[in-house]
Amino acid sequence: MILRLRLRCRGAVQGVGFRPTVHRLATEAGLSGKVWNDPGGASIEIEGEEPAVRAFARNLPLSMPPLARLDQLDTEEIPPTGDTIFEVVRSQQGRPTSAGVPPDAAICSACRRELKDQSDRRFGHAFITCTDCGPRYSLVHSLPYDRPRTSMGCFPLCPPCLSEYTDPADRRFHAEPVCCPECGPRLWLADSEGTELAQDAEAIDQTAKALNDGLVIAIKGLGGFQLACRADLADAVDRLRKCKRRPSKPFAVMVADSAAAHRLVRLGDADETLLKSPRCPILLAPRQQDDGVSDNVAPGMEDLGIVLPTTPLHLLLFNHLGDHPLVMTSGNASDEPICKGNREATDRLGAIADLFLIHDRDIVRRVDDSVARSSATPIVAAGVSPAVAVPSGPFLVRRARGWVPEPLFMPEATPEPVLAVGAHLQVTAAIASGNQTVLTPHIGDLDTDEARTFLREAIEHLEDLMEVRPEILVADAHPDYPSRWLAEELAERRSGRLIEVQHHLAHAASVLAEHGRFPDTGESALVMAMDGTGWGPAHSAWGGEWLIVRGDLSWQRAGQLEPMTLVGGEAAVREPWRIAVAAVASSGTATVLKSTPMAQTIGLERIETMAQLANGHSWPLATGAGRLFEACGALLGLATVNTFEGEAAILLEAHAVNVQAPEPWEEVQIQQGSTILPSVALLTAAARRTAAGEPTERVAAGFHATFCRLAGSITTQIIETHGPPTTVAATGGCLVNRLLRQGLPKHISTPLFLPTRLPPGDGGLAFGQAVLAATCLARGCDPTVLLAPEASTD
């Protein structure tokens, strides 16, 4: 019996070798029909003897090319047509149902081999690519994803490349960025005035020599420019820091291969797999001793950010540099978006970079590097056996190149498109359409006009790609966030509707939806939301909360950290020593501060003045867990002032990691039946132990261990009081901390879900906002429920 099936394929099926794979599978099976790209993904019509056709449909999901992802496969029988061949036909136009273009991908092993093969016509070609690798999202203008709709459309293919491009059996069939030295982009080296100094291979040779001489080079990467210098040359690193206005925030380091990475950091199997994958993020991993990298690359940090070459241009540079590591950081000054255009780069980076290695393939969309963190740690909690497996494997800290615009799935399909704009720090925006949400690349903090312009640009690009203009706008409840102002403006311009979402509720929704655990009707979830600061009800500052979230979208604050005094308001966020002084002074033990490392940095007079100010004014209060860890970092003299977000807390973790099996402090306890974590008592205990001469490393480790025990006790108390939830999770920026991710599950007797595919911090917030608004619309809930809890301990 002859059977013809139509298969509608949804997911990452354009520009990833999907159609050649289908063509190969069909011809090998002796089947006829056709395959084509359509606005929703790709469609197949397959005809032949029924057993062979059925087998084709079963095997297709198991035979996908490396970059492809099949999210949905719908099959229907249609009348046979009598076709005798299988062919790839022209793409169909129309409105896309999602951002179906795949993420940018690091160079694949096949292209690496050709790049080094002197007999290959693409030997040494800085733009070598195929269907399994290379730029995708960063160069596409619109869908369907075909060459004329990318920035490669202006490079006519030479006959050999055209033959590969049109041959379904070839690895480069419809690889839209395909080219060769005869028909591809041009590479050159220029000075800061834009004057051309060298081309092609000579440009790469001179760039390598300049790096070896200690110069800073701006290099055009996949989604924007990067700034590079030798990571083992202290003077070069110091000069880059000064010119980039980045006094202490760590730099990423690029190395030639995984063997070089192992010499610099400790990698588990899952870490190495991710590092070598097409996603190829920057991976934060524990440093090896004597790694040979300048101390100023990651001052005071236990981790080093490692990345492997993502482009053929990077590999060609390492052919000259050998094992010398490179600082490879985003091409911008601090608090600005990454540069993408050649003239933009020379204008904005001229005071930072000595030379520019550039080309004429346009970057359409800015996409910064993604950042993941290894879960590897030597810490083993003494005397505590985890009730469940401790989460392991790397997790995302920043979601951009390699992941964007890969969609995330919603608990329920949204009745109409939704645009969520995030908060203020680590911003991403998100568009929900149907049962999927697509996030923009990492935008960053919205402190500058340039960053706010980038947010608008990223939203407009995503709307153009998905061909939607959402009239439902979702924003954080904080009235002074520029992201909220943008949402208000768009809602007014589009005659739309603004939905406000409380900050930590959005965090909770993000981690629950990521794991497919968002509560249905009649279910509930308990989520620990631990970050620095978020706008709470009645203008309060939250940041250490236990939230119960129910299927009807009602929610409750069931536990919290004890509020701490922010002496000076926002100044206390930048200068966490103020919080430490105020907390310890409020316990009546301010004299112990004189014997802490903080006193050596701040001075006794300033500490005494701050203690008096703390008691004599009505300052804002905050429950932020991030503020608590920063205050302890300041107390131990690790960073009394934050030069970047969370610096004191990051250094506190780094200070603690080499202490084996730290014991929680018995002198810090939770009152019977209470669900308030005693922040002041915890800080005071740290001050007393430090003043008594306990090594600061042991104090830092004990502080983490005690916090985890206290948090576990509160979680247990809430479950006993309110009944067992369907899901228990933890999220927020503090869950970037490896010790918390490992320590918290050991004190909770149920599986603890943590963010993995989304950043724990505000980079994942827009997804949670979109989930809540869409679910609210789908379930017919009053959206004001998303703004304030049903009941509060506040």
What is the secondary structure of 573-603 as a DSSP string? HH-THHHHHHHHHHTT-GGGGGGSHHHHHH-
φ/ψ of residue 517, rounded to 5: -115, 15
Determine the Cα–Cα distance for residues 768 and 119; give it in Å rounded to an integer.
Answer: 52
Determine the Cα–Cα distance for residues 511 and 760; give it in Å rounded to an integer.
Answer: 8
Per-residue pLDDT of 65-102, as tens digits, reads: 888 888 889 999 999 999 899 998 877 665 555 557 88
Q: What is the pTM of this model?
A: 0.93
Strands 430-433 and 436-439: antiparallel
Q: What was the pLDDT predicted at 379? A: 41
φ/ψ of residue 77, rounded to 5: -85, 140
Determine the Cα–Cα distance for residues 620 and 569; give it in Å rounded to an integer.
Answer: 6
Amino acid at 13: V
Radius of gyration of the chain (CA): 27
Q: Is 51 exposed, middle or buried (0-12, 13-18, 19+ CB in 10 A)?
A: exposed
Per-residue pLDDT of 645-686, as tens digits, reads: 999 999 999 999 999 989 999 999 999 889 999 999 999 999
Strands 621-622 and 564-565: antiparallel
% residues pLDDT > 70 (the chain):
96
Ranges of residues in the chain whose predicted pLDDT is under 50 = 378-389, 792-794
CA dist list (Å): 66 to 130, 283, 557: 12, 21, 44
Q: What was the pLDDT predicted at 96? A: 57
Per-residue pLDDT of 362-401, as tens digits, reads: 999 999 999 999 987 544 333 344 444 455 789 999 999 9
Q: What was the pLDDT predicted at 14? A: 81
At 388, list the tokens: 């469940």
Report the mean per-residue pLDDT for the chain. 93
Q: Is the dihedral of CA 674, 675, 679, 685 positive or negative?
A: positive
Contact 614, 586 (CB under 8 A): yes
DSSP string across 150-161: BTTTTSPPPHHH
CA dist list (Å): 536 to 341, 457, 569, 711, 714: 40, 29, 16, 20, 20
Determine the Cα–Cα distance for residues 556 and 245; give it in Å rounded to an integer.
Answer: 42
Contact 411, 430 (CB under 8 A): no
Q: What was the pLDDT predicted at 91? A: 74
CA dist list (Å): 314 to 74, 256, 350, 380, 447: 41, 8, 21, 39, 32
Contact 77, 3 (CB under 8 A): yes
Give the three-class secondary structure for 121. coil
Determine the Cα–Cα distance for residues 89 and 549; give it in Å rounded to an integer.
Answer: 49
Give the three-class secondary structure for 430. strand
Side-chain-side CA neighbours of residue 15 (13 Å): 29
Q: What was the pLDDT predicted at 66? A: 86
Q: Is 722 exposed, middle or buried (0-12, 13-18, 19+ CB in 10 A)?
A: middle
CA dist list (Å): 337 to 314, 344, 443, 447, 610: 22, 11, 7, 11, 37
Q: Among candidates 544, 348, 534, 552, which has minimal Cα distance to 426?
A: 534
Query: Which residue has 């906002």 as its token pair?
Result: 769
Side-chain-side CA neighbours of residue 437 (13 Å): 33
Q: What was the pLDDT predicted at 614? A: 86
Q: What was the pLDDT predicted at 289? A: 86
Q: What was the pLDDT predicted at 99? A: 53
Give the three-class secondary structure for 316. helix
Q: Among candidates 542, 516, 546, 555, which has minimal Cα distance to 716?
A: 546
Determine the Cα–Cα distance for residues 409 and 422; give it in Å rounded to an integer.
Answer: 18
| Strand boundaries in 375-440, DSSP class E | 395-398, 408-409, 418-420, 430-433, 436-439
Q: Is 485 exposed, middle or buried (0-12, 13-18, 19+ CB in 10 A)?
A: middle
